[in-house]
Chains A and B, each alone.
Chain A
Amino acid sequence: MSDIERHTIAVLVDNEPGVLARVIGLFSGRGYNIESLTVSAVSKDEAVSRITIVTTGTPMIIEQIKAQLDRLVPVHNVHDLTIEGAHIEREVALVKVVANGPERRESLRIADIFGATVSDTTIESFVFSLTGKPEKINSFIELMRSLGKTEIARSGVVGIARGAKAL
């Protein structure tokens, strides 16, 4: 009953000022967790934005979070991707690694294995760019940390359902 679950929730909202503050304020005000949150306009006229939130909580809390989001006036609809069938999650990471000698060569080799691309290079550093599931990015970052000084930028998760059905 009180098992903590991780859910990815897609929220379609009116792209109006303050709408993101409403969503974030809801989470902070009611003590819910945000693991990651991304937002961008998605409709042709830019009138609708899609917010993807990864959150954790007990089933009762997750149900509350969805009901609370749905209750916000500018929210069109709320979709729990985690329970609404198969879906894809992706995240982009930019990982800077500062290293010399064998560590530098090793970082390039590992990047190749992960399918990361080199977006910037100097004699003593690389910036790798990598797209994938959050777990894949986690393990890539972990390996890079062991090779040198790192700086990480992550986009947060975006998700979409598989198949022909659109929200």
Chain B
Amino acid sequence: MTSEPMSGAEIIIKALVDQGVEVVFGYPGGAVLPIYDALFKQNQLRHILVRHEQGAVHAAEGYARSTGKVGVVLVTSGPGATNAVTGLTDALMDSVPVVCLTGQVPTHLIGNDAFQECDTTGITRPCTKHNYLVKDKTRLAKTLHEAFYVARSGRPGPVVVDIPKDIQFAECPYVGPSNVKHKTYRPQVKGDRRKIEQAVELISKARRPVIYGGGGIINSGPKASKLFTRFVKMTGAPTTLTLMGLGALPASDERFLGMVGMHGTYEANLAMHDCDVMICVAARFDDRVTGRLDAFAPHAKKIHIDIDPTSINKNVAVDIGIVGDVASVLEEMIGIWKTEKKSVDKKAVAAWWKKIDRWRARNCLKFKTDDKLIKPQQAIKRLYELTRDRDVFISTEVGQHQMWAAQHFRFEKPNRWMTSGGLGTMGYGLPAAIGVQLAHPDALVVDIAGEASVMMNIQELGTAVQYRLPVKLFIINNEYMGMVRQWQELLHGGRYSESYSAALPDFVKLAESFGATGLRATKPDELDDVIKTMIETDGMVIADIAVDPKENCFPMIPSGAAHNEILLGPEDEAEKPVSEDGMVLV
């Protein structure tokens, strides 16, 4: 079905509306003026003006991760596009569906080093799932629909559509989304039945099973988390989640061992090390999870379910690799388990649980409180405890506070936890929280931040205030780039090379200067009041929590070490120095 000719800019608006888009995060500029003019003349799309294009992409990511919809970004050519690159890479690493429209100089100027020209498709090729340069006006609508299809299908990811300015003016009939079928891109959704049967058989014979779930469960949608929870209950297997997978299984489930990996729990990591069957569900054996590869789960047969064939056998060779959507595969596994009346070796699994309970009894996340100083873990724990009765959405920046948040904030539902896992982008949390708040206007949205990270995109305070978004910025302020400092202590003789936060702003005054509310806690007995006031105060709030500057994040598996070489606290550190091979790893 084609319509009357419309301008390219109008086609863009119509295509976005037809794709169900409600919010666009963007920043205007010369090469997107026709699109901004078309935005001005309509009221179906809401445009959120960010303060930096990186913030636009992170906000779109927060929006996408908390809703399951595609996040949309609109930026200009040249610096608009290059500023978006970090966000796009972040979305690629964490498989977040984002469509980013970039303006481009008119087609006849491409390649001439025109003002604000850059090779956007060239620059973004390795940091997007796919990208397009639209040089033919008749392909504009089709390309936009394709971009949404590619962004949300299979393993989701960011897609860039680069649109020269003359194409935005050119008139052409519109093509609707139903008329667009992709020629080549058809990700496999259904898993191989034979392999699924083999996997069920292997699980039923396991004596020490472990389920290891990842962010793909969240990406697949709420149904996948429900099925995953059912699968965990059905097998009774101890279950751990990656940083990106938190919320896929309710944290209150007794089978949940806590997070796995470098700063995961003692019980989760030792269970991964000692298991005889590992069921990896939509995770990707990241180096932060596996630790030293040749000592990773040495006794385990491994099953891996993933929608992306490249994830299977990439870092860890597995025994059964099932390519497919996790919801579809889990549904089949549960079906087979039931019809064949499978059951685990109950006696062996009970003995396995006994062993795990001994590890659990170490209480690896314990920390010592202090009369004078707020402990960072304590701040996050209290935030969790004082917000338990609400549906809370948490975003984070990157560093120690992020790991403490992952350890001490417990998620009962998927899509409540927004963090930069793969790329580890400092400055992610505040714009992501803005995106989350737009999608969930009445929810409590908190960015658990570090004072150093948040400075990287602090300008987005302006965005939050402009749109009256009641985002709560909860700064764990230790006046250090804490994770850098922790590594310098571990690996570089405690020489704190450039890892301290000097000349910090007064965050209370900073909040006030933006028209937000600023709060501060410096002593343990002030903490609860500040948290409560933060929650009860309307609008954007910054809570600056001055914490013990020297606290380090444990447990920790140093780089190059195996899961069973986990350090539980500073006293372990001295006994187990990091190997030379480990030093070179990041």
Contact = CB atoms under 8 A, between A and B. Distances in A.
Given A73-B184, A76-B184, A18 B125 contact: yes
Interface in A59-80: 60, 63-64, 67-68, 70-76
A29 B126 contact: yes
B125 A71 contact: no
A25 B309 contact: no
B314 A64 contact: yes
Nearest to A13: B184
B184 A14 contact: yes
B121 interface: yes
A73 B310 contact: no
Nearest to A68: B310
B493 interface: no
B367 interface: no
Contacts of A74: 184
B505 interface: no
Given A64-B314, A68-B310, A17 B126 contact: no
Contacts of B131: 18
Given A18-B125, A73-B130, A73-B150, A64 B184 contact: no
Nearest to B185: A73
A22 interface: yes
A88 to B, nearest CB: 26
A25 B184 contact: no
Nearest to B317: A60
Interface in A71-110: 71-76
Contacts of B133: 17-18
A21 interface: yes
A76 B313 CA distance: 22
A interface, how many residues as a size bin?
A: 10 to 19
Q: Is the interface of A mostly helix, strand, loop or mixed?
A: helix
A75 B184 contact: yes
Interface string A10-26: 00001001100110010
A76 B183 CA distance: 8
Contacts of B122: 18, 21
Interface in A35-69: 60, 63-64, 67-68
Contact of A21 (B125, B150, B317): B125
Nearest to B309: A67
Contacts of A29: 126
Given A14-B184, A73-B150, A63 B121 contact: no
Nearest to B182: A73
A155 B389 CA distance: 69
A25 B125 contact: yes
A22 B184 CA distance: 15
B305 to A, nearest CB: 15
Contacts of A18: 121-122, 125, 131, 133
Given A73-B150, A74-B184, A63 B313 contact: yes
A29 B92 CA distance: 14
A62 to B, nearest CB: 11
B397 interface: no
B125 A22 contact: yes
Contacts of B130: 72-73
Interface string B104-145: 000000000000000001100110011101000000000000
A135 B312 CA distance: 35
Closest 9 CB pairs of A and B: A73-B130, A67-B310, A67-B309, A73-B185, A76-B184, A68-B310, A29-B126, A25-B126, A71-B310
6 contacts: A21-B122, A25-B125, A71-B309, A72-B130, A75-B184, A76-B184
